[in-house]
Structure 1
Amino acid sequence: MKIFLIGPMGSGKSKIGKILSEKLGVSLFDIDKEIEKDLNMPITEMFASKGEEFFRTTETNYLIKTKKFNDCIISTGGGVVEKIKNLELLANETNVVFLNCSVESQFENTKDSKKRPLLQTSDPKLTLQTLYEKRLDSYKKVSKLELLSDSMSNEEIANKIINHFNV
């Protein structure tokens, strides 16, 4: 079984993905980390030197790669829903989980990170709010399960996902 985790940055996709992969004994494919590893470049540097569009296109190519995967957890980047092609790919998947959380939680979980290029602004909380509002409908449209990640522990969320999909 393949499970996709989508949601805003700071919602816990990578951490919950790791817990799920350990509990289910399947691999974790963290798209952002795979891109960084394969291109040997941090995403912040990619945004700075090649631009956001280059990153988004690369992200789409990695999402396409997941079509051939069977049993794994796929953690996406927060902006995966920015491209129509990605929405189409995710809409065709059976197990897509939207990890929703408040902008305040997003901010608390990301405020000390220098690895988030879209937050290198004078007002990162406003940026998070703007991105959340822009992407919310898309997250909801392609997900089969929505969980509020700031109202439960990561362990509880992983268990809810496992129970929901009977895995």
Structure 2
Amino acid sequence: MNLVLIGYRGTGKSAVAKLLAERLQMKVISTDEEIVRRAGMSTPEIVAKMGWQYFRDLESAVAREVGALDNHVIDTGGGLIERRENIQALASNGRFIWLKATVATIVARIATDTERPPLTDGKTFTEEVAEVLERRNPIYEQTAEIAVDTDTLTPEEIADRIMEFRKSTVP
């Protein structure tokens, strides 16, 4: 069984995935890192040269493949959940955990991140985050078995909460 971390960028998925994998003696895989590896270019380059549709198609291919793995912590890209097929691919052998944060926290954490191109045009960074969260939060909530509010928690504390959840649900 895989643990699938979902949530917007800046919520701690990558750091928490590494901690969980170490604690649980599982392997970790980042869907975004796998996309970049396969494309041979950074996410901004992929989007600039090929477009978001191409990126999302690569993301779906990666979701299908990592969904077939076992005993992994899967660090997903924030938008992976926007395609139902990706959720279905990962749900067959995965438990979804939503790492969430407020717009203000996300903006503070990722304002200087240059690894992601804008998702919307003509908006401030804060407006973009708010707009995208408004669209994605219902999907995250519907998909996840548990949500962890990461606003005031360290990655270690987030991992602790997930470990407690896992203990309470594993026979």
Q: What band does the TM-score fall into relative to the shorter chain? A: over 0.9
Inter-CA distance 63–21: structure 2 relative to 1 (3 Å threshold)? same
Contact 2:2 2:72 in 1 (8 A): yes
Task: Tell me which moved more, 23-32 or 85-94.
Answer: 85-94
- 1:85-106 deviation digits (Å, cap 9, x = unpaired): 1233345454100001001111
Distance 1:81 1:65 in 2: 15
Aligned to 2:150: 149
Q: Which residue of 1 aligns with 2:126?
A: 125
- The residue type equivalent to 1:159 in the other structure is D
Q: TM-score, normalised by structure 2?
A: 0.91
Q: Which residue of 2 aligns with 1:58?
A: 58
- Tell me the TM-score normalized by structure 1: 0.93
**Unpaired stretches in structure 2, ≥5 consecutive residues:** none
- Unpaired segments of 5 or more residues in structure 1? none
Q: What is the count of residue pairs matched by the alignment? A: 167
Find the aligned partners of 1:81 and 1:68 in 2 and give their Cα distance: 17
Give the residue type in structure 2 aligned to 1:22: E
Percent identity for Structure 1 against Structure 2: 28
Residues 54-82 of structure 1: CA distance to partner in whole angstroms, max 9, x if unpaired? 11111011111122211110000010111
The amino acid across from 1:142 in the alignment is T
Distance 1:70 1:93, change over 3 A: closer
